[in-house]
Chain A
Amino acid sequence: MNPPDTSALRTLACPYCGPRELEEFTFRKTLPPPSSATPYARIYERVDSLTQSLEHWQHLRGCRAWLLVNRNPSSGAVVSVRLLSAAES
């Protein structure tokens, strides 16, 4: 039996490997709000937005690259996937 193809989020496009099944990737953490200044805020506070979520993922069962993913958590749509090292420099 094939799963119904309804979810917008089934794959992520790894910059090295191209589109791969979501199961290959591991979600690491959501980035804290840009306003977070204290260590407490950077560790614990989260942006829980309806429309945008900036997250660290890792292609753990693939090339192991760390990724910066911009997603819409309400629709499941992936806005962008970049290498974390490229995004930080």
Chain B
Amino acid sequence: MSAAFEPRFSALALVRARMQGAAAWRPLWAKRPLREAYDVVIVGGGGHGLATAYYLAREHRVGRIAVLEKSRIGYGNVGRNTTIVRSNYLLPENHYFYEDSVRRWEGLSRELNFNVMYSPRGVVDLAASDDDMPVLARRGNAMRLAGIDAELMDLHALKRFVPELDLGHRRRFPITGALVQRRGGTVRHDAVVWGYARAASALGVDIIEDCEVTGLEAAGESATALQTSRGRVQAGRIVFATAGHTGMIGSMLGVPLPIETHLLQAMVSEPIKPLLNTVLVYVTPGHGEIYISQSDRGGLVMGGRLDAFPSRTQEGQWYRLEDVVQAGLALLPQMAGVRILRHWAGLNDMTMDGSPIMDRIRYDNVFLNAGWCYGGFKAIPASGAACARFVASGTAPDLVRGFALSRFATGHILDEPGFGPFPVRL
């Protein structure tokens, strides 16, 4: 299927490379100069931009595609997240879409001929009270009706599934059960960048780094060209996939957006021996908020709540970090002696209902792929495929019709947690 990829990875290629030495390994993708004109220009070389380029080239045979990236590919959120993939959503618009993504994750290593290390280790959503259990049951039932795997576990079953979890009587925070999606898990985030970039480049997509978009030219109802730090480039269609800077795109196009930018912190511990083989999620207002998994290298990867006010400083608030660590210690007291190796705060495109936006914006031929909040990573394959289909056909695929920008004005918001027009719980 992917004969165009060069070099193609296989056991034989590995042996051949061993014989030939290091010279056998070539760069994964080609650095080409920016051309004057393209059929589609994608602004933003993150996961969504690269995936959109790949699916446009592979499934829709679009000829000339460019991905413009302000810094380097993989240097944004796609290289700094907690790598969790899942489709355990309540609302149909969300769970059908994210289930499409999980199905694509399942086959992505084979499709890209690049090991993205999809690890279906199970995502365990913990309940903190008896009242949480019917809420989780409702979500699980909604998922099962949509053909998605979901399993409600009582404490007894949970103890067997996650033996390392502290369920003793003296634990700090209550746990009453869990909703488990076994096909959820983790994916190696950097490999997703490399895999999509390599596959897109092999299909002729130009990936242009150090190329910042500074302006847009239009004639009537169509955009015609982009001004960039590397010169002017004509574009038949334009996709903006610039999470963290979507507000700037809105300003450039003169369209105010229901988006603001918040910080989310994450951290990784020093590598330790295998401790945890699932993804634990404990999101319980008033107790603690944490999600934690162990990477293949052994580091415990942890994240929690947003910093809860708009910021671009990329410096998280210390007290929020403390919340995460305290919740972590309550779940897994055995990690008390483990040290934090690195910690960061990334920019999140927060929409006013917590769901993404995929729609035309301002011009007939300009598309916005934005507002993925803190869940953009798991959406990459489905988002890329749907966005490519949208751009190629001009019609929004059914899977993303609910993500239209107009939903806010018409009242069809996708407010998964149900707390109103704010990006965070107040």
A interface residues with partner B (beta carbon < 8 Å): 3, 6-9, 21-23, 26-30, 32-33, 35-36, 38, 40-41, 43-50, 53, 55, 57, 73-76
In B286-329, which residues have CB < 8 Å from any A CB?
A: 308-313, 315-319
Determine the main DSSP class of B at the interface with A: mixed
| Min CB–CB distance A78 → chain B (angstroms) | 11
Task: Check A40–B256 contact: CB distance below 8 A.
Answer: no
- B interface vs A, CB < 8 Å? 246-248, 250-251, 256-261, 308-313, 315-319, 352, 408-409, 421-422, 424, 426
Which residues of chain B come closer than 8 Å to A57, judged between CB atoms? 309
Identify whether the interface residues of A are mostly helix, strand, loop, or mixed. loop
Specify which chain A residues have a CB less than 8 angstroms from the CB of B426 in the assembled complex. 26-28
Within the assembled complex, what's the spacing in Å between the Cα atoms of A53 and B259? 13
- Chain B residues whose CB sits within 8 angstroms of the CB of A36 once the complex forms: 256
> Given that A26-B426, A40-B409 are known contacts, is A48 also in contact with B313, CB under 8 Å in the complex?
no
Contact A6 B422 (CB under 8 A): no
Chain A residue nearest to B406 (CB atoms) is: A40
Q: CA of A46 to CA of B247 in the docked complex: distance in angstroms? A: 9
Q: In the assembled complex, how far is the CB of residue B370 from the closest CB belonging to chain A, in whole angstroms?
A: 11
> Which of B308, B309, B312, B408 has a CB less than 8 Å from the CB of A50?
B312
Q: Check A43 against B247 for contact (C-beta < 8 Å).
A: no
Q: Which of B256, B308, B310 contacts A45 (CB 8 A)?
A: B256
User: Which residues on the A side are within 8 Å of B409 (C-beta)?
Assistant: 38, 40, 44
Give min CB distance, B345 to chain A, whole Å. 10
Say which residue of A23, A40, A48, A50 sits within 8 Å of B260 (CB atoms).
Answer: A48
Other-chain residue from A44, A48, A55 in contact with B309 (beta carbon distance below 8 A): A55
User: Given A26-B426, A40-B408, A75-B313, are A46 and B308 neighbors across the interface (CB < 8 Å)?
Assistant: no
